Structure 1
């Protein structure tokens, strides 16, 4: 039986035209013998402005749902996952060659590791890329390390939640993505690290597109009152999970 990686993508109208680039990056993953990918594209909304960008490929499933933000869309898609592993891929981003194989190898090699992340390059509007310093050392990320770094560095994690690769059973147990208008992926990252060690790969795993329409470039994303509320509940969830001593894998 082949190991299946389910790639989850939330998409809405303004970002839909980037889907062909995301698909191309998936097709370039070159699955090795014994594993395959399945792409679940979940539209955040019921309109007709996304479907025409969805590839005609039996490995791709497209669904619509009433709008609720990217966290809601991803969690709806989670209900239809059918593989052992989940990979996040935002509609406007691209996987780097070999990303899925490296993530899978890390978790298959150590059953105690629940999730993996990798290095990111910003993909700029002119097509060039830019890196940034501060990546952790490659290898194991101990439980709780992401939360403490994030708290000490103005709510910036040392690993990027847009690169998450995780065991499906663990994501399901944590309830998927947080019900927040933003930072829902950071909430999942911190929750994963609260209950399980992770892995960081120093090879580039994602091209993170920078463009004017992305959610993180909007003024509402940095509204001080909302940001403080988001950060507070993200931190509280992670700390409560650690306090309750719920761990993966179960002892």
Structure 2
């Protein structure tokens, strides 16, 4: 097998119990012939409360490192990523059946597309799901399109960065995830849209778990001074990248 997609997951103690659900959702994926997956799990911290929840599977690479939030953990995990494509999966989320196959179908057939996103359903504590009523049309997302929407809608994008699947070479060229206390995935999304074309898949590609312990439920996440500082640096970086020559794959 020569073709590989790497799934990267940042995890810390309170979310480790959900790794088993994430793992089951990965096992349920059916990939095209000749493709396989690698799951890189990187703990944000060096405590002993995560390792017992990591499944015993040779396709899983588990690592630990100094506490630095999810963006740093994912970027450190990139050191062990060997796939041509990198799929984001938070520890408390799940991939619906067919997600990876749909991502690969786009990225392997369209060399002009650098990344994919897809529809999201919020997974509520009672097991029910809630959708989002502002999904863009299925298909191509032109360079700069997500950034323009984000700036015009109070820094809210029309696609979800937790659904990203991206070409690894571009992810590395952009330096991985931003060094921010939160919104590091939004920072990556804005950098990607600033330099390349993406693709929106209308089928559901993520079950996004809502629970009290998730970082986006913490008061610090919505602290207005910090939030505006995060958005300011994300925007400045994306606009600087937008001014550069568009990234292109070598299709020769």
Q: What's the TM-score once normalised by structure 2's chain length?
A: 0.98
1:109-150 residue CA offsets vs partner (Å, 9 max, x unmatched): 110100000000000000111112000000000000000000
| 3-state SS of paired residue (1:94) | coil
Question: Which runs of 5 or more structure 2 residues have no equivalent in the other structure?
Answer: none
| Runs ≥4 residues deviating over 4 A | none
Q: 2:238 aligns to what?
A: 238
Contact persistence 1:118–1:200 (CA under 8 A) = yes
Matched, 1:61 2:61: yes
Paired position in structure 2 for 1:89: 89
Aligned to 2:191: 191
Partner of 1:222: 222
Shift of residue 105, structure 1, vs aligned partner: 0.5
Contact 2:5 2:38 in 1 (8 A): yes
In the alignment, the residues of structure 2 paired with residue 3 and residue 130 of structure 1 have an alpha-carbon distance, to the nearest angstrom, of 34
Q: Distance in 2 between matches of 1:229 and 1:248?
A: 31
Alignment partners' CA distance in 1, 2:75 and 2:92: 18
**Within 5 Å, which residues of 2 pair with 1:196-215?**
196-215=196-215
Distance in 1 (CA, whole Å) between partners of 2:194 and 2:247 is: 8
Q: CA deviation at 1:3?
A: 1.1
Which residue pairs with 1:156 in the alignment? 156
Tell me the CA shift for residue 246 of structure 1: 4.2
Instruction: Look up the SS of the partner of 1:181 in the other structure.
Output: coil
- Counterpart of 1:23 in structure 2 is 23
- Rounded Cα–Cα distance in structure 2 between residues aligned with 1:34 and 1:140: 26
In structure 2, the residue corresponding to 1:95 is in which secondary structure? coil
Would the aligned equivalents of 1:136 and 1:159 in 2 still touch at CA under 8 Å? yes
Structure 1 portions without partners, runs of 5+: none
Kindly indicate whether residue 40 of structure 2 is the aligned counterpart of residue 40 of structure 1: yes
CA contact (8 A) 1:196 1:249 kept: no
Q: Give the superposed CA RMSD.
A: 1.0
